[in-house]
Structure formats: C-alpha cells, structure tokens
Amino acid sequence: MAEDRRTRRTRRALRDALVSLVLERGYAALTVDDITGRADIARATFYSHCRDKEDLFAQVATELLDELSARLSPVVAGSSVGFTGKPVLELFRHALDERDLYRIILRGEGDGRPLRDFTDAFVRRTTGEFRDRAERNGVEPRIDPELLARAWVGEQIAVLRWWLEHDVPPMPAEEVTRMLLDLAVHGRYWASGFDLPV
C-alpha cells in the first residue's frame, strides 16, 4: 500500500515536472536531468518508471486519456441518443482541471506524437460509441462512423485548444458546449446564419 502511494507520488512528480518544464522551455530542449531535477527524484528512479522523456510523455498522455474515459463513461452510458452535450461538457471540465497538460499535448509538443496518440485513441472510442448509438437506436449512419468520429474529434480538439490557450477561457464551458451541441444538431449551414433549403 505504501509502495503504491509512493509510486503514485513519483509518477505525479514526473508528470508535473514534465508539464511545467515544457511550458517554460519547450519539449525539444528538455533532458532527463532537467525532469529529475524538477521532480526531485534520482535518475535511477526515473528509469524504473520510463525509458526516456518520450516514453514519459507517451505515458502521461495515455493516463490523461484514461482519466478522461473514466469521467466520460457514466455520462455516455446514461445517454440513449447521445446528443445531450453532457460528454462534451465533461471533456471541457476535465481539460480545465488538467489545463497545462492538455495545452502541451494539443500544441503538438514532442514531435506531435502525444497529440496523434491522444487523437487516435479518442477517435477509436468515439467511433465505437457512434456505432453503438446507431445500433441502439436502429438507424443506419449516413456517413462512415470513423470519418464522422474523426470530424467530430477534430472539431472538439480545435475548439478545446483555442479555449485553453486563453489565460481566462473566453466563455464558460457550458456556453461552448451549448454552441457545439447546436452545431452537432443543426449543422454548419444553419450555424452560419442560413435557413435550410425547403
């Protein structure tokens, strides 16, 4: 039990050190010594948890997505149609809780690999949910579910990055969610101010 706590504390220290240093200096300039110095842990301890700084960043991004999935699961499971906006709101709330980590991932630090991994995992989860939702409701998707998921995830990531890069978010998470929900339900044509052709 004590070892589990110590391991969690060490992993959190490594995560916090990585994030703060990337925000200060950029990822490319960092060394393992920088990270261990900021985390106040020995190099041997670092290497008992990860191979190098790339492995650390990949692990941190995976853990972030796991945390997000855990927060989204009860929200998604409680929705039959899925256009409630609740999963999007939970995403934005999670991003606000982990703002700095989201920022370095969404900026493409680390040669963009954590962003690609994060996006691909998010797309896989979303594709599965879109397919399950269609099946539950007895409908046939008009667009390939993976393409639909990639469009949806890309939209969320672009808006999320813009929202998080402000020192103070330009609007509350609830307002962004409402707008994205309107966009999902009514489409870009309607959102641009045009009436749908009769």
Task: Read off the pLDDT of residues 153-175 as tens digits, 9 standing for 90 and up.
Answer: 999 999 999 999 998 888 999 99
Structurally, how many domains does the chain consist of? 2
Please count the CA atoms within 13 angstroms of the CA of 100 that sit on its side-chain side: 11
Compute the distance between CA of residue 17 and CA of residue 170 in angstroms, rounded to an integer: 28
Range of the domain at 2: 1-49
Contacts for 147 with CB less than 8 Å, ≥ 6 apart? none
Instruction: Let me know whether 61 and 107 are in one domain.
Output: yes
pLDDT tier at 150, thresholds 50, 70, 90: very high
Contacts for 32 with CB less than 8 Å, ≥ 6 apart? 43, 46, 52, 53
Instruction: Let me know whether 44 and 57 are in one domain.
Output: no
Instruction: Let me know whether 184 and 87 are in one domain.
Output: yes
Q: 136: domain CATH number?
A: 1.10.357.10
* 55-75 pLDDT per residue, tens: 999 999 999 989 998 998 888
pLDDT tier at 82, thresholds 50, 70, 90: low
Residue 20 · residue 102 · CB < 8 Å: no
Instruction: Let me know whether 24 and 110 are in one domain.
Output: no
Instruction: Let me know whether 81 and 126 are in one domain.
Output: yes
Task: State pTM to two decimals.
Answer: 0.87
